[in-house]
Amino acid sequence: MNERRLLLFDIDGTLVTTGGAGERALKDAMEERFQVMEDFEGISLAGATDGIIARHLLAKHDLPSTPENITTLLDCYLHHLVQRLPQHVGRVLPGITDLLLALKPREDVVLALLTGNVSRGAEIKLTHHGVWHFFEFGAFADDHHDRNELGKFAQARAEERHGHQFPPESIYVIGDTPRDIACGKAIGARTVAVATGTYSRDDLLAHAPDLLFDDLTKTDDVLAALLA
C-alpha cells in the first residue's frame, strides 16, 4: 500500500460555489446587526478566513473589532446563510463528486477540510450540497483567524485520530486561491491549485503550486497525481 496521504480541501471555489449566497448572507448580517449597507469594496473575500473578513468589515465601517462584535456578526451570518442557500443557484464544482467517491473508500487516504469558513458555515454549505459526509474533520476559522496557521491544526487532528504521523510531504492542500497555496507551503505540504474560483490558471501559476489543474474533472489524472 502507498504511504498514507492527508488530503485537505478548501470549500468555496474548490468543492462548491454557493452562487453568491455566502456574500449575500454577510451583507444581510451587516445590515441587521450594524445597520450598514455593505458593498465589499476594498474587502478581499477569496481565501480569507471568516474571522479576518469580519474584522475588515467592522473596521471599514469604524465599528470596534471586539470579540463580541465578531461573534455577533458571524452568528447572524450563519443564520442568514441557511436561508440564503436555497435561494441561490450554487453547485458542486465539476469533477468533485466523482473524485470524492473514488477517494473515500481508500485506506491510504484521509479526507479532511482546510478552510477559511467557520466550522458551522462549512457544515451548512457542504450539507446543503450533499458532500459534507465525505470529510472526517477539518481545520476552520474557529481555530485561528490566520489561514497560514490552519494546516497545523489539520495535521495534529489527523495524527490524533489515526495514530499515524503525516509528514509534510504526505499532506496535500487543495484550493483555488493563492492563500490556499500559501497556507500549504506554511507547513511544507504539497500544494494543489485548481482554477475553478476567481483566480485564473496564470494567477495561480505565479504562486508556484506543486500541481495545477484547470478543474478536477479528469478523475484518473487527478488520482494519479495525488497518489503518485
Q: Kindly report, residue by residue over 37-49, the tens digit of the pLDDT.
A: 999 998 888 878 9
Q: Which three cell numbers stand for residue 225?
A: 497525481
Sign for the pseudo-dihedral over CA of 78, 198, 131, 50: negative
109-126: burial string, b at 16+ Cβ within 10 Å, e else: bbbbbbbbbbbbbbbbbb
Q: Provide the pLDDT for residue 47.
A: 79
Sign for the pseudo-dihedral over CA of 19, 49, 44, 55: positive
Q: Provide the pLDDT for residue 1.
A: 42
Domain boundaries, the chain: 5-17+91-226, 21-87
Q: Provide the pLDDT for residue 3.
A: 84
Q: Provide the pLDDT for residue 2.
A: 55
Q: Provide the pLDDT for residue 150.
A: 97
Residue whose C-alpha cell is 463580541:
68
> Residue 4 has what DSSP assignment?
P
What is the DSSP secondary-structure string of 108-177? TEEEEEE-SS-HHHHHHHHHHTT-GGG-S-EE-TTT-SSGGGHHHHHHHHHHHHHT----GGGEEEEESS
What residues in the chain have per-residue pLDDT under 50? Answer: 1
In Å, how far are 58, 59, 61, 74, 176 from 43, measured between CA atoms? Answer: 11, 11, 12, 16, 18
Tell me which of 1.20.1730.10, 3.40.630.10, 3.40.50.1000, 3.40.50.300 is the CATH number of domain 5-17+91-226: 3.40.50.1000
